[in-house]
Amino acid sequence: MTKYVYSFGNGKADGNTTMKNLLGGKGANLAEMTSLDIPVPPGCTITTEVCNYYYENQLSFPDVLNSQVLEALKNIENIIGKNFGDANDPLLLSVRSGARQSMPGMMETVLNLGLTSKTLPGLIAKSGNERFAYDAYRRLIMMYADVVMEKAEGQSPAGGEGIRHLLEKILDQFKKEKNYQSDVDLSASDWKVLSEKFKETIKSELGSEFPDDPMAQLWGGIKAVFKSWNGRRAINYRRIEGIPEAWGTAVNVQAMVFGNLGDSSATGVAFTRNPATGENVFFGEWLRNAQGEDVVAGIRTPNPLNDIAGSDGVQASESLQSAFPKAYTALIDIRGNLEQHYREMQDIEFTIQDERLWMLQTRTGKRNGHAAIKIAVDMVHENLIDKEEALLRVAPSQLDELLHPMVDPKEELKTAPLAKGLPAGPGGGSGQIVFTADAAEEQAAEGKKVILVREETSPEDVHGMHAAVAILTAKGGMTSHAALVARGWGKCCIVGCGALQIDLNKKQLAVGNKVLKEGDWVTLNGTAGKVYEGQLALLDSDPETHNEYAELMQWADATRRLKVRTNADRPEDASRARSYGAQGIGLCRTEHMFFDPQRILAIRKMILADTEEVRRSAVMELLPYQKKDFKGILQAMHDLPVTIRLLDPPLHEFMPQSDDQIDELAAELGITSEEIQTRIANLHEYNPMLGHRGCRLGIAYPEITEMQARAILEAAAELTKEGLTVLPEIMIPLVAAPAEFQNQEIIVRQLAKQVMEEQKITFDYLVGTMIELPRACLVADEIAKSAEFFSFGTNDLTQTTYGFSRDDIGGFLPVYLEQKILPQDPFQSLDVSGVGQLVALAVKKGRAVKRDLKIGICGEHGGDPASIEFFHNTDLNYVSCSPFRVPVARLAAAQAEIKSKN
């Protein structure tokens, strides 16, 4: 018989932490903590297999589930010493979701199950706290009506408003009538009156009664959690995070413990280390007399856990350390225990019921990039993990955060902040205000930079949070939804900015007398929690100032085999990339140097020339400029190889577009505008990407190759004379036939000979080719006979293998991704199974001819971690990527080495 239900409690558990696929993260870790003798309320986990069964079998459960759940329930009852449904001393249960990977707040929870008209008096008698019991009862009614009856069972009020909202309106109205400020003011009899009102409203609005039977409530709750796996929020989140539908969620049924049983009870969430800075200090937030949802919902601003780690702005409030010293000491022990056991920073939830501490959850804590690096490096020094483990623990994309823009401190000094909140996500963000997630998504799609401003965020907002450059909320703490989600994504975020008065109807926010409307600019410093009006300059940050970063990258460099170069066309980009660890230039696109006003004129003259003589003299006008360009780049990268590619794009890209520009050019050249128009018309191509570009230009107009080769080689000669070691690698683009390469190679070698004779000096240089057409891959052995290196141009190779225009894929890619025709954008992450075959074939063929042929890749995939793993495994010598991706590629290359070794 399949085991569908795994019990835990009293030091014994059926499952353990390795069983996340079956028990979900929460269930597996509750079992593990139980086995570690950490106080966990007893319970059971219904497996993810049941979730899949439920959806595959018309929303029904396996026959044996009922008896397995009943058996597990018996176990809980025995441990707690109370019975579910007992009129004198009822056991109450919670049901919670728990997928393999945490999906914070995306699925449903129901608490206090088992409270009925029969068991309520028992709870009142046993707790001696009538107010608590009625409060628990009304919470159950509200949650159940919303989560089970409306969302899962589809019973909804006729007016279109959700049942939860209707019940909340009743509560608000009641408070107004009684002149109450907050929920704390309501008495036991108030909650009693309200729970009766709630039940009546549910019956009249939903057409059926709130169930007064404990078992009916329990099964209603279990089904609702399974159903929430396919709720809109969960589906959206899975899409963004790439979580497969087939994983399913588990359901955890657990004895309730109460943090809201009075002033000797509390609830909180904590991280074993600071998730924003990585510092090895216990960090968390708690609320007295509250249930767990109150802390994360951001409705009340929570207090800091201890006196050292209070989050900014709430320092003055009382810490758990001073309010509950005994429970705090127990919590400190558990913190140490968990870190030693998991060897990883944990995110925990706890409840204190009548001074007694209970652990409700532990999981690997989300952290931003700064913290991820610090924690990984610190844990190596603490002998918790080894260097390889540390390297694997930092996602390469997290390094982006260290390279993130920061608000210019000089501008900050001059500008008074509009408001201050809690620094939930680092870096700077500047954008236009929007007030809804939908508006954020729409306006971001139009190319605007938007900042999503909300009272607080909920899982319903994730699509907008994803689209926004930064997030700002008026409420909530460092562990609120907005903070957690932003941290996971490494996004600039400020929460708990209490000074904001948001008016959704008027689409405006006010801070004191200052009013800002939708579309107005604000700038956030997410590292300091400061909000500024207007658009402040953002500065690139310097990762080298981060000690742990430098150490981690040293380990990465010592581990990786694959070299990392950069794509750069200007000396300043080359220098930046070098400071980020680039080991050379893998691609210098020479055409990027042509758009300067003086040069563009020369190039236009060249294009317009109708005789070779005129063309040659126009081309030669470009020589001094190009030589200067190449000198700058070779100098910035001295001692390192620099691959310079000869002219590649179709010539019409350089021609003027507007009539004014054409007239101006005509005047400059002393010809008529009509002549220019005719030439432009002649240059028109139906498929310029497949037209007269790449080496086809240099073959038709050898003087272009001559000029560029001369510029590179003269620059190299002059620098060599100055005593620098320069290593130019001249690259021929878009070769399909070996003869194309040979044609260009002869010109380059001829010039090299000439230049060395003229300058009376010798130096090393290479002539190689891009491999960016399928045919080049197929005949790579022939090409390798003369080429000294290969560099894969995976942009063009993807374009020509798929036959997808790289400039037009945007038109249909969203449909392709939506319908899962493509798993991802093949221009972002290499199509390993298709394009990858061509890469592997070309490597094999090339190296069969030249065993040590140097092979790199300079398409956009050179900065993509998944592609880098493939290039490592395909035995390339290097990847080349944009300067900002260099650190990402260094780490990804180290990870690829570790993974392939293990």
Give catalytic residues, as residue numbers.
Answer: 481, 858
For Mg ion, give the closer residue by CB, 529 or 859: 859
What is the smallest separation between the CB atom of 716 and ligand PEP, expressed in angstroms?
22
Does the protein bind ligand PEP through residue 795 (CB under 6 A)? yes
SS3 content of the chain, % helix, strand, coil (to 5): 50, 15, 35
Does the protein bind ligand PEP through residue 587 (CB under 6 A)? yes
Does the protein bind Mg ion through residue 745 (CB under 5 A)? no
Residue 194 binding target from Mg ion, ligand PEP, none, CB below 5 to 8 Å by type: none
Does the protein bind Mg ion through residue 793 (CB under 5 A)? yes
Closest CA to 282 of 337, 231, 236: 337
What is the smallest separation between the CB atom of 827 and Mg ion, expressed in angstroms?
12
810-848 exposure pattern, b = at least 16 Cβ within 10 A, e = fewer: eeebeebeeeeebeebbbebbbbeebbebbbebbebbbe
- Binding string, 632-671, against ligand PEP, x = CB under 6 A? ----------------x-----------------------
Piece of 304-312, 329-337, 492-500, 765-773 that binds Mg ion (CB under 5 A):
765-773
Piece of 56-64, 293-301, 506-514, 791-799 that binds ligand PEP (CB under 6 A):
791-799
Answer for the pair 865, 550: CB distance below 8 angstroms, yes or no. no
What is the smallest separation between the CB atom of 807 and ligand PEP, expressed in angstroms?
11
Answer for the pair 209, 202: CB distance below 8 angstroms, yes or no. yes
What is the smallest separation between the CB atom of 875 and ligand PEP, expressed in angstroms?
19
For ligand PEP, give the closer residue by CB, 421 or 793: 793
The single residue listed with the structure tokens 């990984």 is 376
Rounded to 5 degrees, φ, ψ at 479 are -115, 15
Does the protein bind ligand PEP through residue 881 (CB under 6 A)? no
Does the protein bind ligand PEP through residue 569 (CB under 6 A)? no
What is the smallest separation between the CB atom of 877 and Mg ion, expressed in angstroms?
19
Scan residues 136-175 and list those touching Mg ion (CB under 5 A): none
Q: At what angle do helices 547-559 and 369-381 cross, to 10 degrees?
A: 70
Answer for the pair 27, 43: CB distance below 8 angstroms, yes or no. no
How many C-beta neighbours within 10 Å does residue 762 have? 11
Interface with Mg ion: number of residues (CB under 5 A) = 3
For ligand PEP, give the closer residue by CB, 434 or 797: 797
For Mg ion, give the closer residue by CB, 205 or 796: 796
Does the protein bind ligand PEP through residue 796 (CB under 6 A)? yes
For ligand PEP, give the closer residue by CB, 581 or 649: 649
Does the protein bind ligand PEP through residue 378 (CB under 6 A)? no
What whole-number distance in Å separates Cα of residue 292 and Cα of residue 360? Answer: 9
What whole-number distance in Å separates Cα of residue 252 and Cα of residue 140? Answer: 17
Rounded to 5 degrees, φ, ψ at 876 are -70, 160
Does the protein bind Mg ion through residue 796 (CB under 5 A)? yes
For ligand PEP, give the closer residue by CB, 334 or 697: 697
- N-to-C CA span, the chain: 36
The upper half-sphere exposure of residue 303, i.e. CA atoms within 13 Å in the direction of its Cβ, equals 19
For Mg ion, give the closer residue by CB, 32 or 648: 648
Residue 587 binding target from Mg ion, ligand PEP, none, CB below 5 to 8 Å by type: ligand PEP
Closest CA to 523 of 451, 453, 467: 451
Q: At what angle do helices 794-802 and 835-849 cross, to 10 degrees?
A: 120
Answer for the pair 482, 493: CB distance below 8 angstroms, yes or no. yes
Does the protein bind ligand PEP through residue 707 (CB under 6 A)? no
What is the smallest separation between the CB atom of 587 and ligand PEP, expressed in angstroms?
6
What whole-number distance in Å separates Cα of residue 361 and Cα of residue 26? Answer: 6
What is the smallest separation between the CB atom of 644 and ligand PEP, expressed in angstroms?
13
Among 426, 429, 793, 883, binds ligand PEP (CB under 6 A): 793
List C-alpha distances in Å: 376 to 276, 490, 892.
Answer: 14, 17, 16
Answer for the pair 487, 366: CB distance below 8 angstroms, yes or no. yes
What whole-number distance in Å separates Cα of residue 275 and Cα of residue 369? Answer: 9
What is the smallest separation between the CB atom of 527 and Mg ion, expressed in angstroms?
39
Scan residues 207-226 and list those touching ligand PEP (CB under 6 A): none
Answer for the pair 24, 48: CB distance below 8 angstroms, yes or no. yes
For ligand PEP, give the closer residue by CB, 793 or 887: 793
Contact residues for ligand PEP (CB under 6 A)?
A: 587, 589, 648, 772, 793-796, 858-859
Contact residues for Mg ion (CB under 5 A)?
A: 772, 793, 796
